A = this chain, B = another copy of it.
């Protein structure tokens, strides 16, 4: 398993395509941010899907650490994971 943070910048009317896909694997932690543990196989599936889904001017960055323990996470303002929109 690896721990990933995925941030995306997509046209507003197309974000549901990525939201619906990434929700199968990860937790939606902020408007355009997902994170969680994935297997190497699932990560490859995600990467292939991103390549096929993204249009010009859209981008996604995957930050990957070998373990969640290496990543310190601090939330300022309202924690969106406590917001039911994201559950």
Contact = CB atoms under 8 A, between A and B. Distances in A.
A64 B72 contact: yes
B65 A71 contact: yes
Interface of A: 5, 7, 9, 29-33, 47, 50-51, 54-66, 70-80
Contact of A58 (B5, B59, B78): B78
17 contacts: A7-B33, A9-B31, A9-B32, A9-B80, A30-B59, A31-B32, A50-B76, A55-B77, A59-B75, A59-B77, A59-B78, A60-B76, A61-B75, A61-B76, A64-B72, A65-B71, A70-B70
A80 B14 CA distance: 18
B66 A70 contact: yes
A76 B63 CA distance: 11
